């Protein structure tokens, strides 16, 4: 059933991609996978190795449609930036295991001072343990540790795609966004794709804004300043129910649910945050 649902969702998404020639439209046809590659993506999304708690969030994160929009397909080298607990790694690493390369770029704990070092070490170790525990899916995955103050994500010009999911707000608040986007540009091949999903603010926000949201034009400006060209936008991860005025920012909403129990029904009805989904190309 999961495979059928994923196939249907991806078919709808790809059908919507056929009439959008401009970056302001939902998507375009340039980066869409071929049918056989679409099948491989469907199979990875439907994989029975995925954590059921992660699968439950597919209705909010739309992995099949999102990855198809970015143009992910076997044979590529794909770098995912700070994959956390491996939500997308569960899809990308098996998809690229036998044909391609999945690279998890994590913050090097040694490059971080104070309590942040322990946090980054736990994140890195947790991901490595996840990979080691399931070699059938992750034995070919690579973990690369980078210094967020001067990120080197791999050999220059070695990646077909860089993906980042809901990280830009953290880099902005830490003063690292400019360097991160330069790092993305350096590791990508000419013609390579940068895919960005981020919580979308209603208007531009200050660098030190604590809501977790970022203005869409702010993200576009950062990417363009690093040398990227905006190729397409998508509404795949949009949520018009998100009013973006929550007391604890995006963390008020699922999956963090930082709210009073009495307000739970209200926030569950909203669901996860409204998110921009942007595809950039390195010229």
The CATH number of 2-281, from 3.30.200.210, 3.40.50.150, 3.90.1150.10, 3.40.50.720, is 3.40.50.150
pLDDT tens per residue, range 36-70: 677 999 999 999 999 999 999 999 999 999 999 99
pLDDT tens per residue, range 88-127: 999 999 999 999 999 999 999 999 998 899 999 999 999 9
| Integer angstrom CA distances of residue 31 from 10, 51, 169, 232, 267 | 14, 29, 27, 10, 35
Residues 6+ apart with CB under 8 A from 162: 78, 79, 80, 81, 153, 184, 187, 188, 192, 193, 194, 195
The reported pTM is 0.88
Place of tokens 């199979």: 43
Kindly state the percentage of the chain with pLDDT values over 70: 87
pLDDT tens per residue, range 190-243: 999 999 999 999 999 999 999 999 999 999 999 999 999 999 999 999 999 999
Q: Domain map of the chain by residue range?
A: 2-281
d(CA 24, CA 4): 31
Mean pLDDT estimate for the chain: 91
pLDDT tens per residue, range 14-25: 333 333 334 545
């Amino acid at each position: 059933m999961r495979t059928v649902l994923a196939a249907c969702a991806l078919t709808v998404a790809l059908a919507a991609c056929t009439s959008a020639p401009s970056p302001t439209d939902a998507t375009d046809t340039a980066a869409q996978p071929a049918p056989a590659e679409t099948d491989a993506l469907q199979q990875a999304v439907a994989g029975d190795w995925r954590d059921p708690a992660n699968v439950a969030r597919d209705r909010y994160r739309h992995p099949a449609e999102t990855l198809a929009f970015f143009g992910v397909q076997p044979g590529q080298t794909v770098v995912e930036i700070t994959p956390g607990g491996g939500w997308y790694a569960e899809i990308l690493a098996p998809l690229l295991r036998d044909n391609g390369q999945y690279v998890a770029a994590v913050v090097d704990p040694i490059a971080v001072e104070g309590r942040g070092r322990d946090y980054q070490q736990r994140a890195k170790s947790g991901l490595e343990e996840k990979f080691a525990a399931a070699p059938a899916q992750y034995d070919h995955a690579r973990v690369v540790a980078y210094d967020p103050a001067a990120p080197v994500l791999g050999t220059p010009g070695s990646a077909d795609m860089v993906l980042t999911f809901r990280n830009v707000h953290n880099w902005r608040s830490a003063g690292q966004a400019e360097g991160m986007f330069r790092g993305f540009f350096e590791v990508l091949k000419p013609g390579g794709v940068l895919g960005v999903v981020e919580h979308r603010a209603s208007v531009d926000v200050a660098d030190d804004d604590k809501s977790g949201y970022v203005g869409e034009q702010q993200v576009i400006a950062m990417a363009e300043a690093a040398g990227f060209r905006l190729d397409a936008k998508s509404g795949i991860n949009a949520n018009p129910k998100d009013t973006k005025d929550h007391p604890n920012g995006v963390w008020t909403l699922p999956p963090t649910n930082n709210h009073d129990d009495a307000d739970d029904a209200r926030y569950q009805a909203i669901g996860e945050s409204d998110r921009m989904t942007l595809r950039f190309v390195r010229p």
